[in-house]
Structure 1
Amino acid sequence: MATITNFLCKPPSPLPINPKFNPTYSQFSSFFTKPKPVITKLETRRTQVIIKAKAASSTRKVDSDERVQQVHSIEEFDEALKKAKNKLVVVEYAASHSYHSRKIYPFMVDLSRTCNDVEFLLVMGDESEKTKELCKRENIDQVPHFSFYKSMEKIHEEEGIGPDELVGDVLYYGDNHSAVVQLHNREDVEKLIEDHKTDQKLIVLDVGLKHCGPCVKVYPTVLKLSRQMVDTVVFARMNGDENDSCMQFLKDMDVVEVPTFLFIRDGEICGRYVGSGKGELVGEILRYQGVRVT
């Protein structure tokens, strides 16, 4: 086992960044002319955040959904992003004829009531020429489409997703409400380790990248475990591409694939797991807690 000090002294190694989202859209003229098939349908629920939604009606009653703001033009859209500052902003692009848009909308409303630190916007692409112009500017060609913004910058987007994926994305990118300790530099990591040197708790450090699909996929499991194991395990997370300090820290730790989970106890790194398998992650945590896994 190496101490954290010795571990950080290793020479840095290259860390490739492979953005998850690289879509190819069809002609914008085809947008909103006919319903698009949903890409993914998930029936399970990952976290306590998912609430059973009411059956979606054919008419949206946006005025009664006080936490979801409908925007009607480019000007309103830009103003909403500006007003949100560094909060996460989740934008759903929808169409009145889209069955899948209507189906997922109640889940977004329920999610908005749970995540008070996240702003939610709705754009009905076929509402007017102004909303069509907005969709054209944002390169939206299929619905339902979700875009995620921070500080007026688009950080992630998905199309044709189900409730599970929507919740996972919001939890991953909207970290203010998270039960997982958020680490933003090397000093944060060192302080966390120092704070738990003597309390016998295992530290599980989730290392990833902002645009890493497997990192987003496994994060709801990390959140759920952080609540279930609060008495014995401390969960923390760092995104390597958040800033230069984080990226250098990942290089110092020889992280070449993400997500990587580092297991730290008594100030020492005692192991790591690379991957996004839920069962494997749980098994590794139990193993490093000293629990026999059969």
Structure 2
Amino acid sequence: MDEELERIRRKKLEEMKKMANEPNADYPDSPVKLTDGTVGDVVARYPLVIVDCWAEWCGPCRMIAPVIEELAKEMKGKVVFAKLNVDENMQTSSKYGIMAIPTMLVFKNGELIDQMVGAYPKTTLTNKIQKYL
């Protein structure tokens, strides 16, 4: 019995060491799908969250989607990217006054600090996000 407990303790200790060495393990490497019910939890959980407000019918939104996917991978551990379908989540869209899409909402430490409206090229978007890091 003591040997079994010791084995479990060692295994748990190794897992904890691994997590300590990988502080970004909790960060997603692809955009998180948000809803009216989850947006508050996600923006409160991570220090910097970029929410892409989009709709299925929006051409510029579809153009910027692959850029958001790439940046989510490249900036994992620094920024969490999320997607909010404005047609399906009107409460959040109304709360933040989304009048045009795509709109990126920038949350730092749970607070909305900026909005970026339009489909930016990857380099421009990256430069804009860098100032929040």
Give the greater-gyration-radius structure (CA). 1
Q: Which residue of 1 aligns with 2:40?
A: 190
**Deviation of residue 208 (structure 1)?**
1.0
- What amino acid is aligned across from residue 179 of structure 1 in structure 2? S
SS at 1:231 equivalent = coil
Shift in Å at residue 195 of structure 1? 1.7
Q: Tell me, in whole angstroms, the C-alpha distance in 2 between the residues paired with 1:273 and 1:285.
A: 10
Match of 2:81 in 1: 235
Partners of 2:130 and 2:115 in 1: how far apart?
Answer: 13
Indicate yes or no: 2:96 matched with 1:253: yes
CA distance in 2 between counterparts of 1:209 and 1:218 reads 12
**Cα distance in 1 for residues equivalent to 2:119 and 2:49:** 18
1:266 and 2:116 equivalent?
Answer: no
Is 2:128 aligned against 1:284?
A: yes
- Does the 8 Å CA contact 1:273/1:281 hold for their aligned counterparts? no
Q: How does 1:19-58 map to 2 (within 5 A)?
A: none
1:211 match: 57
Amino acid at match of 2:57: H
Which whole-Å deviations, capped at 9, do the CAs of 1:165-214 have from their partners, x for residues lacking one?
xxxxxxxxxxxxx8210012x22001112222xxxx31000001111000
CA distance in 2, matches of 1:249, 1:262: 11
2:32 aligned residue: 181
How many equivalent residue pairs?
104
For residue 83 of structure 1, what is the aligned residue in structure 2?
none
Counterpart amino acid of residue 285 in structure 1:
I
For residues 239-267 of structure 1, what are the alpha-carbon distances to aligned partners after superposition, in whole Å with 9 as ceiling and x for unaligned?
1112xxx1121011111010000111111
* Paired residue type of 2:111: E
1: CA distance, partners of 2:103 / 2:68: 12
Instruction: With the length of structure 2 as denominator, give the TM-score of the two structures.
Output: 0.73
2:99 is paired with a residue whose SS is coil
Q: Which one scores higher on RCO, CA 8 angstroms, separation ≥ 6?
A: 2
How far the C-alpha of 1:225 sits from its partner, in A, is 0.3
How many angstroms apart in 1 are the aligned matches of 2:91 and 2:107? 19
Secondary structure in structure 2 of the residue aligned to 1:230: coil
C-alpha distance in structure 1 between counterparts of 2:100 and 2:127, whole Å: 20
Between Structure 1 and Structure 2, which shows a larger proportion of helix residues? 2
> Which structure 1 segments of 5+ residues have no match?
1-177, 290-294
1:206-247 deviation digits (Å, cap 9, x = unpaired): 0011110000000100000000000100000001112xxx11
Write out aligned runs for 1:1-294 (5 A): 179-184=30-35, 186-196=36-46, 201-242=47-88, 246-278=89-121, 279-289=123-133
CA RMSD of aligned residues (A): 1.4
TM superposition outliers: structure 1 runs of 4+ over 2 Å? none
